[in-house]
Structure 1
Amino acid sequence: MDWLGLQLFADLPATGRIVIDCRHEPFLVLLAFSVACAACFATLDMAERQSHNEHPTAQRQWRVLGACCLAGGVWAMHFISMLAFQAPVEVHYDVSLTVLSLLIALIVAWLGMNSLNRSQMRVQHYLQSAVLIGAGIILMHFVGMAALETGARQYYQTGLLLACVVIAILTSLAALLLARYFRNGSGTLHQALKYGASVVMAGGIVATHFTAMSAMTLVIPADTALRLPSADNSLQLGLTIAFITLLISGASISAALADKKLQSKEHDLRRVSILLSQLDQARASLQQAAHYDALTNLINRRGFNQVFAERLAEQTTSQNRLAVMFLDIDHFKRINDSLGHAAGDELLKVIANHIKAATRSHDLVARFGGDEFCVVTSLNNRDEARHLAQRIMQRMKEPIDLGGRRMVMTTSIGISIFPDDGHTAEELLKHADLALYQSKGNGRNSLNFFNDSLKTRATLALQLEEELRIALLEERGLCVHYQPIFDLRNGQVAKLEALVRWQHPQHGLLGPDRFIGIAEANGLIIDLDLWVLRHACADLAQLHRHGFADLKVTVNCSAVTLSHDELPSEVEKALYHSALAPRHLELEVTENALMGDIQRTVNLLKRVRALGVALSIDDFGTGYSSLAYLKRLPLDVLKIDRTFLQEVPGSQKDREIVQAIIVMAHTLHLQVVSEGVETVEQLEFLETHGCDYLQGYLLGRPVALGELRPILERLERDKGVLSPCCDTAIPGSPDLFASSPGYRASASIARRGH
């Protein structure tokens, strides 16, 4: 095959002279390899810069520069290697073919750089590009060989020729993979690997060239005169080309380094700008989080304090008035307990919108946490504050659809006025809170303005709290009174309800309504309940030793104490220290106290009952009255609340309710105690309908232990205060306990212990 004077796949001729004394100048070969290494390194740098630039124009410029470096390096390696070729014949080069080989190298290099610009390279893309680039390199090589004029004809061995093609394609594939790999990365290791990759690529290019040269055989035709070589300037020419190529590669590498540094600085500046922007956003977010409630988007307590202080300063200057309103959602805890906290959060959002809708645009509306809200509004007189509060309360009564239920919420509001009720934010908020406490104490769903009596009452409550804490710590002043519970079957006193009292040094004998709320609000109620439990057990044990061995004592247990995990062990300890049998103790728990974590409550009550202690549910009918809960609870006694008995027997509805409760309790195998028995008619009604036990002022009021023993002894002598048939009381005073000379407690105190 004759192509441009090259015999690529032809056999050697039968005639002619073979040029066998051919060799290469080692220095020029090493120089060619160095040029190739520098060009490959520059090409890898250009590929990296091309991928790191975002602007198409810059990418195109780096692509062109990379193509020039690669083409110049490959072509210079080829030309210097040809200059290193030495044969015993005169050698010349065809300029046009030499230039053509350079153009082919440029086109191949451009194709290679363009391939690296793909966002994604698949296997077929690598193979196609490698074959195309390898073929281009082979074409460039043989066009360059065709430019060699020696007077001899070039014959090539087929095997080595094909090996040259394979090496060119593999070298191209390796170059693409390496250039793709080294587009990203940094550091000393990355740079060292790039140097190694450049040597590998240059080695492949040099191997392609010298494999092709090994395949070549020069044959001088028989009719051609042999022209001996003359002095040449191959070394100077090779050094010049190498210098130019290395200069171009070095300039390109320097440009890449400068661009890399510049881009790194731009990247750092961009990062700094982004960080500053993120910092501003974070500062704004923190400002939002610090001063606004995430759930309702209302201002929170911290933001409220800041804005409120500014408004107070403005009002002080202008001598205008302000109203501070504290709002608390009535019975909000029930929503969380029954529907869950997610439903509670949704409800708070709706409530916040209701409050904002009822207020004016310039009013300050804040959420302090939980279900507490605060509104600050400017006004001319107190009636404006009242009207705004009534507007909010009316808006709150609008039905709300939540969790598949339609409900109506109410709110309690306390109001303080600036400057009448205080001049500082702390004073105004504290006084509004006191007024709110008054609203909640009056039955909720109401509003109250602050007045001095509330402050006096709060001061008294604080004083009572401190004194109650000392009384509990020193066990001084607290005492237990006992109210009898009669068995209707025999008319005897069967049980005693232990009711706590406080003999205060200044205020006299205080009932539980004066200090139980204080104990619950300040974490003293558990200690108080356990104190009553221990003293009631000890007092009953003393009565047993004086001959009243059949008596039981019932002790009230608050909701907080009922959630105390150590309650069973405390009961066991109280029984042990008083040497009292568990069957003589009965714990009373209110219905509402059972409605928290019902499973935990059931487990705790089972542990108490396992000791042998009886359990009673007090105030039945005033809370949830859930039969589903009632059947799960390990109870022994059900106590009918006094409110159902007040209109008996006059009210038919109350009679039917009491009858139904008695029947239901007996169906559940529970004994029934009715409290609040104050008339003979009520007693007869309860006896007729099968009530088991009676308790009330008609039969006896609470008395101290010292007054209790004589009365019990008198009852023992008289064989009870009720006749066996219970038609009427026995002769004498039926209110035997009420006639005790030591009795001083009011009717409200005797309702229940706490």
Structure 2
Amino acid sequence: MEWLGLQMLSELPSTGQIILECNYNPYLVVLALLVAGAGSFATLSMAERLNHVEEPVAQRQWRLLGACCLAGSVWALHFISMLAFQAPIEVHYDFALTGLSLVIMLFAGWLAMNTLGRRDLRPRHFVQAATCIGLGIAAMHYIGMAAMRSNAQQFYRPDMFVASIAIAISASLLALILARYFRYGSGTLHQLLKYAASLLMAGGIFATHFTGMWAMTLIIPPEATMALPAADNSLQLSLTIALITLLISASSISAAMSDQKLQSKEHDLRRVNVLLSQLDQARVSLQQAAHYDALTNLINRRGFNQVFAERLAEQATSEGMLAVMFLDIDHFKRINDSLGHDAGDELLKVIAGYIKAATRSQDVVSRFGGDEFCILIALNTRDEARHLAQRIMQKMKEPIDLAGRRMVMTTSIGISIFPDDGRTCEELLKNADLALYQSKDSGRNSLNFFNSGLKTRATLELQLEEELRVALLEERGLRIHYQPIFDLHTGQVAKLEALVRWQHPQHGLLSPDRFIGIAEANGLITDLDLWVLRHACQDLAQLNRHGYGGLKVTVNCSALTLGCEELARDVADALQQAGLAAHQLELEVTENALMGNIHSTISLLKDIRALGVSLSIDDFGTGYSSLAYLKRLPLDTLKIDRSFIQDVPRSRQDMEIVQAIIIMAHTLHLQVITEGVETMEQYQFLAQQGCDFVQGYLLSRPVPLGELRPILSRLDQRDESFLACFTPYVDTNQSVSPDLFANNPDYHAGASAVRPGR
């Protein structure tokens, strides 16, 4: 580097004068260090902004600004430190070389910022960049030193020269690492650490400069004249350079902070926009969830009500007609119970498709929940609604493959018409629902239009439900009538069937068919059965005290009551409270109730049988019982339904059926009761076939407890006058003459139309 005036020496020259009285202006040295610190902080800020922008143009701008901050601060530290250098000779600086040193530093700064702009920096990248930047800083320093013009020559110690370059490379590596680290993070602690890192970087650059200065020795050649230093403006020049550099650094820091705030606001704005977009999506999703059924993708009840209100307003304005259809899948619960809910869901999807296929594009199809669908159609005549309902029912007849099975489902439909059947959504939906229940009650797989009679009936049923609930709660109005069961072997009354009646304050004495269905539909049947059980046991205990200790009482038990696990305990409590022996009580259950859940039913009946209570199967032959299960049931008695005896002896087929049932029951060691006996021919036929007991209007209608004892006394008479009533008609096909029982107020010839059951 002789061309720069920089000479290396291993030992001092023998001639010449060494300048030893060199020192530094401490204020300018501190000023140089502060300028370097401010520039380092600005450089770290630029590196941080570089990481937070994505546009290439903005990245180039921040690289350029960061390079200027880094180069300006390092160069300013060098130049101010040189101005702080005080020697006893005249010193001035070459402008061209000084400018060249600044250009070299700008290149090194650009290289540093370009390195920091890379996304995938590896250790080798840090080392390569630090080496290049360190060499650039060293070149800037020594070219700046060469720009110093005086009568003295500059000689450098090689070891210190190399040490300054090593310090420059190390400081550059440290600066790159710190700048890379401080590209991320925020908060007060982050800022404090960045301040400390800035001072550390400035210290490294400071050490590079003064190590290089330490390596320099000024020697005045023998032939040169020593010129004393003249007055200079180094202080003013240092302050000017420092001020310019600090202004650049401050402006850069201010720009970085402003950009950070702006970007933060943009980030917040983007986040708000994202949140708003997510809210819009959530609103759409909520609206979808709120108005559409997730399973079938049909609108749900909420969505239907909204569309219904709009269509209703349109039709009210145009005086048009609307039809509301309620659809319910017949026996859908069997699918869920037998094949599972997943299969039931698949079936609902298929059915929804069938309904959509049968309707028009302008019709509104909704799933209200479960297996219930609702359709809203605009029409001109009522027949259009009927034809649409028939198309749906026809479409439903198409076979459905489900869980390896091929099945055909049916539907019940109820229809209400606007404005004939109502003018509000609630009224039309309620009336369509009433028509649907009419379709179910009439055997299902049918359609019905609403009529005012349905509303009257629904109102009456609601009233009866409320009053029945009160009657059970207050035990007011409910009555028990008893019908004797005659033993054909002993010729005496053996049992009494307890049949509930309701003495209604407005409608008079109501038979069970008026309120049993209401009790079953509203969860009152179990309370009603237990009420009958308790009072029947108490009434029989009272008869026992009057000399009728050989009687049994039979009490009906519904399917719902039979499903209660506490039934055995309730039976035991009723017997204990009445003081009645268990063998005097017999429970009657229908065969359909028995077959509902055969395994749990068998267990429950065994518990009741263990108490000593007899068990009877009622209405035999009208259900779907299996003989394989029948032989497993702990039964004592089988009761033949009256439908098999009412046409005897006119129907030979019924006679053969009754005969077969009696033989089968006796084979299973069961006693047989036949109910509904109303003629002498029926009585005699049953006696000939070996039937054990008979029950019916021929003997007595159901009567209250207060009227029972005279009837029991008359039926228990075994004199010739009573038995003679039956003798003349043993071989005849004529019905018994009413005159023959003119003195028997309990017999009515026309009573066959009235079921003597509950």
TM-score, normalised to structure 1, is: 0.80
Q: 1:219 to 1:267 in 2, by over 3 A?
A: closer
Q: Is the 8 A contact 1:494 1:551 kept in 2?
A: yes
Which secondary structure state, in structure 2, belongs to the residue aligned with residue 218 of structure 1?
strand
Once the two structures are superposed, the pairs formed by residues 147-226 of structure 1 within 5 Å of their partners are 147-148=147-148, 150-157=152-159, 160-161=163-164, 164=167, 167-168=170-171, 170-182=173-185, 185=186, 187-214=187-214, 216-218=215-217, 220=219, 225=224
User: What's the CA shift for 1:447?
Assistant: 0.8
Once the two structures are superposed, the pairs formed by residues 240-319 of structure 1 within 5 Å of their partners are 240-319=240-319
Q: 1:377 to 1:137 in 2, by over 3 A?
A: same
- Residue 230 of structure 1 corresponds to 229
- Residue 427 of structure 1 corresponds to 427
Which secondary structure state, in structure 1, belongs to the residue aligned with residue 653 of structure 2?
coil
- Residue 32 of structure 1 corresponds to 32
Take 1:323 and 1:135, find their aligned partners in 2: how far apart are those partners?
Answer: 91
Q: 1:217 to 1:134 in 2, by over 3 A?
A: closer
- Residue 351 of structure 2 corresponds to 351
Take 1:68 and 1:127, find their aligned partners in 2: how far apart are those partners?
Answer: 22
Q: 1:514 to 1:361 in 2, by over 3 A?
A: same
- Residue 54 of structure 1 corresponds to 54
Q: 1:62 to 1:514 in 2, by over 3 A?
A: same
Residue type at the aligned position of 1:433: D
Q: 1:421 to 1:174 in 2, by over 3 A?
A: closer
User: What's the CA shift for 1:252?
Assistant: 1.3
User: What's the CA shift for 1:687?
Assistant: 6.0
Once the two structures are superposed, the pairs formed by residues 297-696 of structure 1 within 5 Å of their partners are 297-482=297-482, 497-546=497-546, 553-561=553-561, 570-580=570-580, 642=641, 650=653
More off after superposition, 304-313 vs 410-419: 304-313
* Structure 1 spans left out of the alignment, 5+ residues: 723-727
Take 2:467 and 2:182, find their aligned partners in 1: how far apart are those partners?
Answer: 85
Which secondary structure state, in structure 2, belongs to the residue aligned with residue 423 of structure 1?
coil
More off after superposition, 229-238 vs 702-711: 702-711
More off after superposition, 517-526 vs 573-582: 573-582
Take 2:603 and 2:585, find their aligned partners in 1: how far apart are those partners?
Answer: 19
Take 1:682 and 1:99, find their aligned partners in 2: how far apart are those partners?
Answer: 137
User: C-alpha offsets along residues 563-584 of structure 1, whole Å, 9 cap, x if unaligned?
Assistant: 6676566445434432345665
User: What's the CA shift for 1:715?
Assistant: 6.8
User: What's the CA shift for 1:46?
Assistant: 1.8
Q: 1:621 to 1:239 in 2, by over 3 A?
A: farther
Take 1:224 and 1:739, find their aligned partners in 2: how far apart are those partners?
Answer: 172
Take 1:630 and 1:92, find their aligned partners in 2: how far apart are those partners?
Answer: 126
More off after superposition, 456-465 vs 409-418: 456-465
Take 1:682 and 1:36, find their aligned partners in 2: how far apart are those partners?
Answer: 127
Take 1:76 and 1:391, find their aligned partners in 2: how far apart are those partners?
Answer: 94
User: C-alpha offsets along residues 572-601 of structure 1, whole Å, 9 cap, x if unaligned?
Assistant: 543443234566556556666678899988
Bigger Cα Rg: 2
Take 1:171 and 1:13, find their aligned partners in 2: how far apart are those partners?
Answer: 35
Take 1:612 and 1:97, find their aligned partners in 2: how far apart are those partners?
Answer: 125
More off after superposition, 557-566 vs 744-753: 744-753
User: C-alpha offsets along residues 296-343 of structure 1, whole Å, 9 cap, x if unaligned?
Assistant: 333333333333333333333433333222212212222233333333
User: What's the CA shift for 1:398?
Assistant: 1.6
More off after superposition, 445-454 vs 302-311: 302-311
Take 1:695 and 1:125, find their aligned partners in 2: how far apart are those partners?
Answer: 108
- Residue 44 of structure 1 corresponds to 44
Take 1:290 and 1:436, find their aligned partners in 2: how far apart are those partners?
Answer: 26
Take 1:715 and 1:637, find their aligned partners in 2: how far apart are those partners?
Answer: 24
Identity of aligned residues (%): 65
User: What's the CA shift for 1:30?
Assistant: 1.4
Q: 1:40 to 1:449 in 2, by over 3 A?
A: same
Take 1:361 and 1:451, find their aligned partners in 2: how far apart are those partners?
Answer: 29
Residue type at the aligned position of 1:153: F
Take 2:137 and 2:226, find their aligned partners in 1: how far apart are those partners?
Answer: 31
Residue type at the aligned position of 1:393: M
How big is the alpha-carbon RMSD for the aligned residues of Structure 1 and Structure 2?
4.7
Take 1:529 and 1:712, find their aligned partners in 2: how far apart are those partners?
Answer: 25
Q: Is the 8 A contact 2:46 2:62 kept in 1?
A: yes
Q: 1:449 to 1:539 in 2, by over 3 A?
A: same
Q: Is the 8 A contact 1:615 1:634 kept in 2?
A: no
More off after superposition, 633-642 vs 150-159: 633-642
Which secondary structure state, in structure 1, belongs to the residue aligned with residue 157 of structure 2?
strand
Q: 1:19 to 1:368 in 2, by over 3 A?
A: same
Take 1:617 and 1:193, find their aligned partners in 2: how far apart are those partners?
Answer: 92
User: What's the CA shift for 1:190?
Assistant: 3.9
More off after superposition, 535-544 vs 742-751: 742-751
Q: 1:219 to 1:177 in 2, by over 3 A?
A: same
Q: Is the 8 A contact 1:414 1:436 kept in 2?
A: yes
Q: Is the 8 A contact 1:168 1:204 kept in 2?
A: yes
User: What's the CA shift for 1:392?
Assistant: 0.9
Residue type at the aligned position of 2:58: A
User: What's the CA shift for 1:97?
Assistant: 4.4
Q: 1:394 to 1:259 in 2, by over 3 A?
A: same
More off after superposition, 253-262 vs 591-600: 591-600
User: What's the CA shift for 1:444?
Assistant: 0.6
- Residue 725 of structure 1 corresponds to none
User: What's the CA shift for 1:427?
Assistant: 3.1
Q: Is the 8 A contact 1:90 1:229 kept in 2?
A: yes
User: C-alpha offsets along residues 245-265 of structure 1, whole Å, 9 cap, x if unaligned?
Assistant: 111111112222332333334
Q: 1:625 to 1:95 in 2, by over 3 A?
A: farther
Residue type at the aligned position of 1:220: I
Residue type at the aligned position of 1:230: P
Alignment size in residue pairs: 730
User: What's the CA shift for 1:101?
Assistant: 3.5
Take 1:202 and 1:597, find their aligned partners in 2: how far apart are those partners?
Answer: 90
Take 1:87 and 1:622, find their aligned partners in 2: how far apart are those partners?
Answer: 130
Take 1:568 and 1:18, find their aligned partners in 2: how far apart are those partners?
Answer: 125
More off after superposition, 322-331 vs 75-84: 75-84
User: What's the CA shift for 1:352?
Assistant: 2.0
Q: Is the 8 A contact 1:358 1:391 kept in 2?
A: yes
Which secondary structure state, in structure 1, belongs to the residue aligned with residue 153 of structure 2?
coil
Residue type at the aligned position of 1:84: A
Take 1:204 and 1:610, find their aligned partners in 2: how far apart are those partners?
Answer: 101
User: C-alpha offsets along residues 40-75 of structure 1, whole Å, 9 cap, x if unaligned?
Assistant: 222222223222223221122112211221222222
Which secondary structure state, in structure 2, belongs to the residue aligned with residue 70 of structure 1?
helix
Matched, 1:73 2:73: yes
Take 1:71 and 1:353, find their aligned partners in 2: how far apart are those partners?
Answer: 75
Q: 1:660 to 1:490 in 2, by over 3 A?
A: closer
Which secondary structure state, in structure 1, belongs to the residue aligned with residue 182 of structure 2?
helix
Q: Is the 8 A contact 2:620 2:640 kept in 1?
A: yes
Q: 1:222 to 1:72 in 2, by over 3 A?
A: closer
Q: 1:126 to 1:474 in 2, by over 3 A?
A: same
Residue type at the aligned position of 1:176: A
User: What's the CA shift for 1:620?
Assistant: 7.5
Take 2:590 and 2:546, find their aligned partners in 1: how far apart are those partners?
Answer: 32
Residue type at the aligned position of 1:536: A
